[in-house]
Structure formats: structure tokens, C-alpha cells
Amino acid sequence: MAEKQLVKTLKVRVRDKQAKRLQEMSRSVNLVWNYVNELSSRIIREKGYFPNYNELEKYTKGCNKELGLHSQTVQNIVKEYVLRRKQFKKNRLNWRVSNPNNAKYSLGWIPVNTGQASWKGCRVYHNGDHFKVWDSYGLDEYKFKTASFNQDNRGRWYFNVCVPIDADKTYSKGQGAIGIDLGLHDTATTSEGDVLEAFRFYRNEEEQIAKLQRANKKIELKNAHAKVKNKRKDAYHKFTRWLVENYGEIYVGDVNSSKLAKTNMAKSVYDASWYLLKTMLEYKCDNAGIVYREVDERYTTVTCSVCFTRNKNFPKGLSGLQIREWTCVECGSTHERDINAARNILAVGHGRLAGGIPALKDGDDVKVLSNI
């Protein structure tokens, strides 16, 4: 019986000496995209229907030799265009701009089809060219599937490739279950009391970023934003990997960031980037074969995780966020608000508190979550 395989995306940086050739190929990609964009718009205007891939592809046959692209790269551009046009439901999509001095400059993108890139001696071979990269994964051990060359906002180029991996090698050895409460005081707090601190990635660099904006130092400004982004991703990758390696079930509260983003805490909400954290956790859990669920977190903060009694006198709104500890009036248990919320989120995930946090009836048994 064949082993189940998963697909993982690896990202390696291309050496700066190769940037000139990649930039030339990127201009050719933009030319094909813009041609197909105009052609599709014209067919819609004159004939009244959306042309499909087969109709658009026949107009681009043979252009790859003139543009210095692989024939399947041109086909992938047309496929991507048709896909995005259906997604956004527009007669014409945005033009891809090749001039780096233009404010609407499109970051470089070169799609590579399966089998059209190979690896040999720390080099990626594609379309008769070879590109040196910093190999941090040992790419010679993998078989390449679809891939692409991509440029970041600092002008650096990366090779992103999808590779098959055995599912059995990625499964988590963790057996326990854990609940996670997302917040601003601490970015994430678990039901076991572990904390991902709010590092204030952007807020710590905000003054320096403002100076660079006033001085119109575009390159330094891009580097500053990239520094913030990389620090956040590094911290979140380490935290989510630790969770996946140590637990078999992970439940996260479905925090609503849109409401908080309209308050004076908007910068802190954007800095926390809960969506990035949940996205990382979701795909890592999927690859590791463990349970991941987002659950209703209503009233989890104001409900005692020992006796399940809701504190109806708990302050609402922003004023309630300042209260870090509180004592249950029924059982006398003292709670740290985020840990208490995480324990209740775990209980909701297990179905013991289905439909939010209901009040217990007289005679019901009480389970202590700390013993789970």
C-alpha cells in the first residue's frame, strides 16, 4: 500500500548575482500578462463573453522563444490570469508594471511548471539557465513539483517550490489537548499557563519608521518593514511548532479583530496579527494530522473554569480589559483572566460547554478543567 503523501512549500533565497536575469524574465512575464489582459477585455467588449483558457492560450503560442521564457511558463501565466479573472469577476484585471520607480510596480513573479526545474550542485536549472541559491533544506533530497521565482519588496528573489513529503514523518507525537486565548496583553495564552508575549513588533520600530518616511528613504523604509515582518513570523513559527509537537488537539478562540480595530487599540491589533498566527497553526496541524478547531469564545473570560458560573457583574467593553485577575463569587477560585478563558475554550472544544457558556443546573456534576 502506497504511503500517503503531503505537499510542502520550501522557500530558498536566490543569490543577488542572478537578479538581473530574473528581472528580465519577470518583464517578459508582465508583457504576457498585460497582453492577455487586453485581449480578454477586447473579446468581452466585442463578443460579449469571457474567453476561456484554451481560447486565450492559442494567441500566445510561440511567443516564449522571443521573450526568453519556457513554453509552460507562458501557459501558467494564462491559467493564472483566467483563475484570477473568475475570482474577482472583472472584465479587466490590474496591469503588471515593470518599472521599479513606478508607485504601482508589480513585484517579480515567474511561474515554473512541474518538471521544468531541476536541482544540481546548489543550483536551480530552468529554461537553459542556472540560478545559485542558499540551500537551507537540502533540496537534492526532494522531487520538485510546481514552483515559482518571487521577488520581495526589497528586491530580493526567492525560489518557492512544492515538494512531496511522507505524511507519516510529519505526524505529531503529542497526545494532550490545549486551549488558546488570543489577546493584546499577551498575544496567546494557553490553558496550561504558557504565554506568547506581545512583542510589539511594529510599535517598537514605529518611531524609526516614521523618521524614514519623513526623510523619504525608500530602501531603508522597506528594510524596516521587512524587519518587523520577519521578527513576527519567526516568533509565531517557533510558538506554533512547539504547540504542534506537544499536543494532539488544539482549540483556539474565534476572536473578532474587526471591532477592536475600530478603537484606539487598532495598532496593537494589527501588530498582534492573530490571523497570521491562526493560519500558521492551521496548516501545521493539518500536516501533522492533529485536531485544530476555532470555537466560540463568548463569555469565556467571565465564566469560572472551576464551577462554570458566569460573573454577570464583570465590567463590559474596554474597561473590562484592564482587569487581569478576578475571584469567583460562587466557589472562591481566583483566576488569571487569559488562562481562565483558555481553559473554557478547551472545554467548549471538547463539547462540555456547547453553545457558549451555559449556566449549570442544580445537581449537575462539576469537572475541574485543570485536571484534564
> 350, 318, 334: which is closest to 249 by C-alpha?
350
> 355, 293, 346: which is closest to 367 by C-alpha?
346
Please check whether residue 312 is in contact with residue 348, taking contact to mean a CB–CB distance below 8 angstroms: no
- Angle formed at CA 97 by CA 75 and CA 157, multiple of 5 degrees: 70
- Domain ranges within the chain, ordered by starting residue: 5-168, 170-194+236-256+273-372
- pLDDT by position in tens, the chain (length 372): 445 567 788 889 999 999 999 999 999 999 999 999 999 999 999 998 899 999 999 999 989 889 999 999 999 999 999 999 988 888 899 999 999 888 899 999 999 987 888 888 788 899 888 999 988 788 878 888 889 999 998 889 999 998 887 765 555 566 788 999 888 888 888 988 888 888 888 888 888 889 988 998 888 888 888 888 888 888 999 999 899 888 888 999 888 777 777 777 777 888 788 888 898 888 888 878 888 998 888 888 778 878 877 777 765 655 556 677 777 877 877 878 888 888 888 888 887 654 444 433 333 333 333 332
- Strand (E) or helix (H) holding 79: helix 71-88
What DSSP designation does 95 have? Answer: P
- Residue type at position 47: K
Q: Which three cell numbers stand for residue 212?
A: 524614514
Is pTM beyond 0.85? Reply is no
Following DSSP, what letter does each residue of 90-116 receive, concatenated?
Answer: -SS-PPPB--TTSTTBPPPEEEE-TTS
